[in-house]
Structure 1
Amino acid sequence: MHYTLRQLEVFLAAAHTENITRAAELLSMSQSAASSALKDLEQQFSIQLFDRVGKRLQLNELGRALRPQAESLLEQAIALEQGFRQHDKIGELKVGATLTIGNYVAVDITARFMSQYPSARVNLHVANTARISQQVLNFDLDVGLIEGELQHPDLNVSRWREDELQIFCSPSHPLAKRDKLSQKDLLAAEWILRESGSGTRQAFDRAMYDLLPDLDIRLELQHTEAIKRAVETGLGIGCLSRVSLQSAFDSGRLIPLRAPGRDFRRYFYFILHRQKYLSEGILRWLDMCREY
């Protein structure tokens, strides 16, 4: 074999940080040792994996093509080492979740997972669908849990569980006593919604497609709790996942509204890179999500 696992580590760290000095720090190496490892790897095969732009290293076409294979090979090597040391030990797991899932579902799953597997360390990152998918593509995350529909040739997207959005308002809002909302009500209302690029907004836009150009969207916010608070103070009506609203409905702080004929059903999804090595930790995490 004409390359070493250390050389692959340097290659992947440089791809992640786009800087050899930061890559060396990430691997607890000297800058010269990291630079030499990358140079030896390229010279061994007479290739160039990066375009050098000043101090920045940017993956070229060959580097981008080889990165998934290097990621998979290195992860299998790490899993093999863990197997030699302790066959049932689960190490670090990097999970990404969109806001609704991250704030109202994934935290519970993480607690159960770490309780069942004490050796596990779960790093949970919460962002919108676009950001989570990009991090999975870059191998910055092992698995993503998203709300939005997504298609990408390098991603394996599979349904996890069903969810439903719910229109809601404050108890003092004029629409609070309506049995159901008419099209006229929907158009007259001031809306407080999630930002474009989020899975929740995607599902809302699909359900309201025929009215979208004429809706009065007063605010677009990135955080579910901020939307709930704005609606609670009477700034307008909102539409979020029922998962995030149930406690507010139970306490009477917010009121659910019906809009017959509007389909607010959607799904939560798992996303993984197609060339991602499915370690024991990832497989057990997915199983626990399905059981939740």
Structure 2
Amino acid sequence: MTDAAVALPARRRRSSASYRLERRIKKGFLVVAVGLVLIYTLFPYYWAIVSSTKQGAALYRNTFLPAFDLTYYKALYENRIFLGSLVNSAFVASSTTALSLILGISAAYALGRIDFPQRRGVLMTILMISIFPQVVVLSGMFELINWLGLYNRPSALILTYLLATVPFTTWILTTFIREFPRELEEAAIIDGCSHFRILTKILLPLMGPSLASTGILAFILAWNEFLFALTFILTDENRTVPVAIGLMGGSSRYEYPFGQIMAASVTVTLPLIILVLIFQRRIVAGLTAGAVKG
């Protein structure tokens, strides 16, 4: 047996060992990267929970360890203004989401399935509207709300939130509708179905994941909105949660209610987490729909 024949298995063993070592190093880097991302994303929420269980000087002792003091949470649940703001936010966000999906899916079907010369221009206009800063339209919306007599009413927030959520839902749902095969629609047209029946009886039942993902994102957008809610609502009875948290005050003008604000922030975030956990499968299916064509 020649020296080359003897050296070949040894080279293969060394290359196999180096390949396994390289895979372990890459896996180690991946684990470290995932760990850093989790710490970066979860630590603020953990810190908010810890801070909401401490009072006074305890905030500065053992900063990263909870004290299991629920005084601030009990005070929140006894605060009628805060509980009312939760109800207001739920009503406004739910109404905004429902109207956004109804209007968005109707516009998305027209833009995704019906051919007309101005379709591309309409899509570009919708995209431009969706990226407008809120401050740009604030004065105009103020005049419109005042003219309609909706000032200091929850309906004013629903109307203004639609300005951001309808373009968003329309753009996203148009992408989903374009992915459905044309044969479904053509067969329905041959059977005499109108566009309304095609949308409601054929396409809509297939859009569960996309509607769930788009609806959750629109709900979060309306739930977290602050500027319009601060501008168009004046009384505590009609305020939404972000404004109620922003206007929280201490027992004196020199006290900053940090722990109470953290407790309110944790309480406000819980409904969003529950919604995402309930619809997580549909959200993932909706976000990945149309990613692979075949």
- Range class of TM-score, shorter chain: under 0.3
Higher helix share: 2
User: Larger Rg: 1 or 2?
Assistant: 2
Q: TM-score, normalised by structure 1?
A: 0.21
Higher relative contact order (CA 8 A, sep 6+): 2
Q: TM-score, normalised by structure 2?
A: 0.21
Higher strand share: 1
